[in-house]
Amino acid sequence: MENLMSQYTYLTFRFEKEMPRALPGLIVGDFVLINPNRSKTKQYETLIEEIGHYEKSVGNISDYSDPDSKKQEAEARRWAYTHAVTLDELIYCYEHHLHTIDDITEHLEISAEYLNAALEVYRQKHGEQFYYHHYHFDLRSGLNIDKL
Protein backbone atom coordinates (compact mmCIF):
# COMPACT_ATOMS: atom_id res chain seq x y z
CA MET A 1 0.00 0.00 0.00
CA GLU A 2 2.87 2.36 0.86
CA ASN A 3 4.45 1.67 -2.52
CA LEU A 4 1.24 2.65 -4.29
CA MET A 5 0.86 5.84 -2.26
CA SER A 6 4.49 6.79 -2.95
CA GLN A 7 3.71 6.80 -6.67
CA TYR A 8 1.09 9.52 -6.10
CA THR A 9 2.99 12.11 -4.05
CA TYR A 10 0.65 14.85 -5.29
CA LEU A 11 -2.27 13.18 -3.49
CA THR A 12 -2.84 13.41 0.26
CA PHE A 13 -3.81 10.12 1.90
CA ARG A 14 -5.53 9.86 5.24
CA PHE A 15 -6.84 6.81 7.06
CA GLU A 16 -9.84 8.22 8.88
CA LYS A 17 -11.18 6.15 11.79
CA GLU A 18 -14.34 8.25 12.02
CA MET A 19 -15.58 7.34 8.53
CA PRO A 20 -19.01 5.69 8.35
CA ARG A 21 -18.57 1.91 8.41
CA ALA A 22 -20.38 1.50 5.08
CA LEU A 23 -18.03 3.94 3.31
CA PRO A 24 -14.75 2.26 2.30
CA GLY A 25 -13.14 5.36 0.84
CA LEU A 26 -13.63 8.72 -0.76
CA ILE A 27 -11.66 11.14 -2.91
CA VAL A 28 -12.29 14.86 -3.01
CA GLY A 29 -9.93 16.73 -5.29
CA ASP A 30 -6.48 15.48 -4.37
CA PHE A 31 -7.45 14.32 -0.87
CA VAL A 32 -8.04 10.56 -0.41
CA LEU A 33 -9.78 9.18 2.68
CA ILE A 34 -9.59 5.47 3.42
CA ASN A 35 -11.56 3.64 6.10
CA PRO A 36 -8.97 1.87 8.32
CA ASN A 37 -11.69 -0.25 9.95
CA ARG A 38 -11.45 -2.72 7.06
CA SER A 39 -8.88 -5.39 6.31
CA LYS A 40 -5.57 -4.37 4.76
CA THR A 41 -6.64 -6.11 1.56
CA LYS A 42 -9.88 -4.10 1.36
CA GLN A 43 -7.99 -0.90 2.21
CA TYR A 44 -5.59 -1.53 -0.69
CA GLU A 45 -8.43 -2.32 -3.10
CA THR A 46 -10.24 0.85 -2.00
CA LEU A 47 -7.08 2.92 -2.26
CA ILE A 48 -6.38 1.90 -5.84
CA GLU A 49 -10.02 2.46 -6.79
CA GLU A 50 -9.95 5.97 -5.33
CA ILE A 51 -6.78 6.64 -7.32
CA GLY A 52 -8.70 5.32 -10.33
CA HIS A 53 -11.32 7.98 -9.66
CA TYR A 54 -8.55 10.59 -9.56
CA GLU A 55 -7.24 9.33 -12.91
CA LYS A 56 -10.56 8.76 -14.70
CA SER A 57 -13.42 10.69 -13.07
CA VAL A 58 -14.49 14.30 -13.40
CA GLY A 59 -16.67 16.10 -10.87
CA ASN A 60 -19.05 14.61 -8.36
CA ILE A 61 -20.14 11.13 -9.47
CA SER A 62 -21.95 10.12 -6.28
CA ASP A 63 -25.36 10.08 -8.00
CA TYR A 64 -25.40 6.54 -9.39
CA SER A 65 -28.78 7.11 -11.05
CA ASP A 66 -26.95 9.41 -13.48
CA PRO A 67 -25.69 7.43 -16.51
CA ASP A 68 -22.51 9.52 -16.73
CA SER A 69 -21.74 8.84 -13.06
CA LYS A 70 -22.23 5.10 -13.62
CA LYS A 71 -19.94 5.24 -16.64
CA GLN A 72 -17.21 7.07 -14.73
CA GLU A 73 -17.52 4.67 -11.78
CA ALA A 74 -17.10 1.69 -14.10
CA GLU A 75 -14.12 3.28 -15.84
CA ALA A 76 -12.39 4.02 -12.51
CA ARG A 77 -12.93 0.42 -11.40
CA ARG A 78 -11.59 -0.99 -14.67
CA TRP A 79 -8.52 1.24 -14.29
CA ALA A 80 -8.05 0.05 -10.71
CA TYR A 81 -8.38 -3.63 -11.60
CA THR A 82 -5.80 -3.42 -14.39
CA HIS A 83 -3.38 -1.46 -12.22
CA ALA A 84 -3.71 -3.77 -9.22
CA VAL A 85 -3.47 -6.87 -11.43
CA THR A 86 -1.14 -6.05 -14.31
CA LEU A 87 -0.32 -8.59 -16.98
CA ASP A 88 3.34 -8.16 -16.03
CA GLU A 89 2.54 -9.09 -12.41
CA LEU A 90 0.65 -12.16 -13.61
CA ILE A 91 3.70 -13.15 -15.64
CA TYR A 92 5.84 -12.62 -12.53
CA CYS A 93 3.53 -14.97 -10.63
CA TYR A 94 3.81 -17.57 -13.39
CA GLU A 95 7.61 -17.31 -13.51
CA HIS A 96 7.84 -17.63 -9.71
CA HIS A 97 5.49 -20.64 -9.54
CA LEU A 98 2.65 -18.73 -7.91
CA HIS A 99 -0.09 -20.62 -9.73
CA THR A 100 -2.96 -20.95 -7.28
CA ILE A 101 -5.51 -18.22 -6.65
CA ASP A 102 -4.33 -18.04 -3.04
CA ASP A 103 -0.69 -17.63 -4.12
CA ILE A 104 -1.51 -14.91 -6.63
CA THR A 105 -3.84 -12.97 -4.35
CA GLU A 106 -1.39 -13.12 -1.47
CA HIS A 107 1.41 -11.82 -3.70
CA LEU A 108 -0.77 -9.02 -5.11
CA GLU A 109 -2.38 -8.30 -1.71
CA ILE A 110 -5.90 -8.50 -3.14
CA SER A 111 -8.94 -10.71 -2.65
CA ALA A 112 -9.95 -13.55 -4.95
CA GLU A 113 -13.04 -11.53 -5.93
CA TYR A 114 -10.83 -8.63 -6.97
CA LEU A 115 -8.58 -10.93 -9.02
CA ASN A 116 -11.61 -12.43 -10.75
CA ALA A 117 -12.98 -8.97 -11.52
CA ALA A 118 -9.61 -7.98 -13.02
CA LEU A 119 -9.52 -11.13 -15.14
CA GLU A 120 -13.03 -10.29 -16.38
CA VAL A 121 -11.78 -6.86 -17.47
CA TYR A 122 -8.97 -8.55 -19.41
CA ARG A 123 -11.48 -10.98 -20.98
CA GLN A 124 -13.59 -8.05 -22.14
CA LYS A 125 -10.58 -6.15 -23.42
CA HIS A 126 -8.53 -8.93 -25.06
CA GLY A 127 -10.85 -11.93 -25.33
CA GLU A 128 -10.61 -15.25 -23.53
CA GLN A 129 -7.22 -16.04 -25.10
CA PHE A 130 -4.52 -13.57 -26.06
CA TYR A 131 -0.78 -13.09 -26.31
CA TYR A 132 1.26 -10.60 -24.33
CA HIS A 133 5.07 -10.34 -24.29
CA HIS A 134 5.65 -13.90 -25.54
CA TYR A 135 3.10 -15.39 -23.15
CA HIS A 136 -0.21 -16.99 -23.97
CA PHE A 137 -3.02 -16.06 -21.58
CA ASP A 138 -6.00 -18.38 -21.46
CA LEU A 139 -8.84 -16.98 -19.36
CA ARG A 140 -11.55 -19.44 -20.40
CA SER A 141 -11.57 -21.21 -17.04
CA GLY A 142 -9.66 -19.11 -14.56
CA LEU A 143 -6.08 -18.09 -15.32
CA ASN A 144 -3.69 -20.17 -17.38
CA ILE A 145 -0.43 -18.73 -18.67
CA ASP A 146 2.13 -20.43 -20.92
CA LYS A 147 5.43 -19.07 -22.15
CA LEU A 148 5.86 -19.26 -25.92
Helix (H, G, I), strand (E, B) or coil at 114: helix
What's the CA gap between 136 and 119, in Å, rounded? Answer: 14
- Do 42 and 62 lie in one domain? The reply is yes
- Do 70 and 17 lie in one domain? The reply is yes
Provide the pLDDT for residue 70. Answer: 87
- Do 49 and 97 lie in one domain? The reply is no
User: Model confidence at 23, in pLDDT bands (50, 70, 90)?
Assistant: very high
% of the chain surpassing 90 pLDDT: 81
CA–CA–CA angle 78, 19, 106 (5° rounding): 45
- Do 66 and 19 lie in one domain? The reply is yes
Mean pLDDT of the chain: 93
- Do 120 and 80 lie in one domain? The reply is no
Higher per-residue pLDDT: 60 or 68: 68
What's the whole-model pTM score?
Answer: 0.90
Beta strands 12-15 and 31-34, pairing class: parallel
Across residues 65-79, what is the average pLDDT?
88
User: Model confidence at 27, in pLDDT bands (50, 70, 90)?
Assistant: very high
Provide the pLDDT for residue 60. Answer: 74
H or E element at residue 142 = none
Provide the pLDDT for residue 127. Answer: 97
Which stretches within the chain are classed as H helix? 2-6, 40-56, 67-84, 87-95, 101-108, 112-126
Domain coverage including residue 70: 1-84
Domain boundary among 61, 84, 107: 84
Domains of the chain: total: 2
- Do 52 and 68 lie in one domain? The reply is yes
Q: For residue 62, is pLDDT > 80?
A: no
Across residues 20-46, what is the average pLDDT?
94
